[in-house]
């Protein structure tokens, strides 16, 4: 886990209801907290994932898996191969 911030996972718990994300935060700092949480909880370090596998994992928390996937890649929490065939967790 990162030591930035003091609240850790409980900070993002307010974004969830019954294990599902209620909304993707609009504020960049709050969204980054969420993305770090999702990357750390849904994706194993050192493992490659196909796009359908990434989508399936993200759909467990929110129906807009493509937005979450894009935010994770742009935010540097997931890396994508040049051809888009594989993803892996960064860090």
What predicted TM-score, i.e. pTM, was given to this entire model?
0.86
Let me know: does 79 contact 73? Beta carbons within 8 Å. yes
Which residue in 60, 23, 25, 24 sits closest to 41, CA to CA?
60
Token look-up 């996972």 returns: 9
As a whole number of angstroms, the distance between CA 22 and CA 13 comes to 10
pLDDT, tens digit, for every residue of 35-91?
Answer: 999 999 999 999 999 999 999 999 999 999 999 999 999 999 999 999 989 999 998
Sign of CA dihedral 74, 80, 83, 85: negative
Q: Model confidence at 6, in pLDDT bands (50, 70, 90)?
A: very low
């Amino acid at each position: 886990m990162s030591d930035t911030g003091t609240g850790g996972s409980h900070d993002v718990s307010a974004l969830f209801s019954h294990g599902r994300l209620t909304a993707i935060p609009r504020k960049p700092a709050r969204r980054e907290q969420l993305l770090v949480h999702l990357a750390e909880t849904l994706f194993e370090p050192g493992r490659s994932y196909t796009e359908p596998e990434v989508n399936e994992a993200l759909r467990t928390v929110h129906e807009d898996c493509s937005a979450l996937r894009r935010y994770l890649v742009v935010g540097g929490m997931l890396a994508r191969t040049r051809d888009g065939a594989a993803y892996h967790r960064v860090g």
